[in-house]
Homo-oligomer: A and B are copies of this chain.
Amino acid sequence: MQYPEPIARLISSYMRLPGIGRKTAIRLAYFTVNMNKDDVKNFAQALIDVKDKLTYCSICGNLTETDPCEICKDPRRDRSKILVVEHPKDVMVMEKMKDYHGLYHVLHGVLSPMEGRGPQDLNIKSLLKRLQKNSKVNEVIIATNATPEGEATAMYLSKLIKPAGIKVTRLAHGLSAGSDIEYADEMTLYRAMKDRTQM
């Protein structure tokens, strides 16, 4: 006895998602059977729509329904700053902080010799073009992750951009808000110490 064919197909679809193994996929598939029919229809439509209705902004590389994206065409944004992130979802993370009002640039990855990803595989060329064209930009803030690859990418970009006379900054490293020194790792403590600020 096999799973009924529609269930088997749904199980294998769920298994394509990251972090979802066979047992979880089975649980989700049977859960779906008991879901409200409209909810399932909306779910299916939402899946189709993220593939059909979204595109990447031709200016900054962010995910968007319109090209250019809402941020790039918003006249209220500060056009003197570009914040560089690895992925489109990082843009939303920065926006939630509600304190940054400049523009963005999405790299779509980081340099990773291990995985064979070089500068030509990232959205770097268009960043340089933006900086050449747009003389208003006076600061590029690099917000790649605090991983070895993120750091290497930040270094690489800084070396490319600085010669053009543009200020390049990097997000501060140190203790997380609410964290306990006892549990901080050595690298975090080292950087918190090195970049200590005057009170």
Binding site for B on A (CB under 8 A): 1, 3-7, 9-10, 13-14, 16-19, 24, 26-33, 35, 37, 39-51, 53-54, 63-65, 70-71, 87-89, 91-92, 95
Q: Is the CB of B41 within 8 A of A89?
A: no
Starting from the known contacts A1-B91, A10-B46, A30-B89, 18 additional A-B residue pairs (CB-CB under 8 Å) come to A1-B70, A4-B64, A6-B49, A6-B54, A7-B63, A10-B43, A13-B42, A13-B43, A13-B47, A16-B39, A19-B27, A27-B89, A33-B50, A33-B63, A33-B88, A37-B51, A43-B47, A44-B45
Nearest residue (CB) in B for A91 is B1
Chain B residues with Cβ under 8 A from A70's Cβ? Answer: 1
Specify which of B16, B26, B42 is in contact with A43 (CB 8 Å cutoff). B16
A128-B183 Cα distance, complex, nearest whole Å: 61
Specify which of B26, B32, B71 is in contact with A50 (CB 8 Å cutoff). B32
A111-B75 Cα distance, complex, nearest whole Å: 61
Nearest residue (CB) in B for A19 is B24
A4-B64 Cα distance, complex, nearest whole Å: 6
A45-B13 Cα distance, complex, nearest whole Å: 10
If A54-B6, A63-B33, A64-B4 touch, whether A89 touches B26 (CB-CB below 8 Å) is yes
Question: How far is the CB of A117 from the nearest CB of chain B, in Å?
Answer: 15
A3-B88 Cα distance, complex, nearest whole Å: 10
A3-B54 Cα distance, complex, nearest whole Å: 11
A19-B51 Cα distance, complex, nearest whole Å: 25
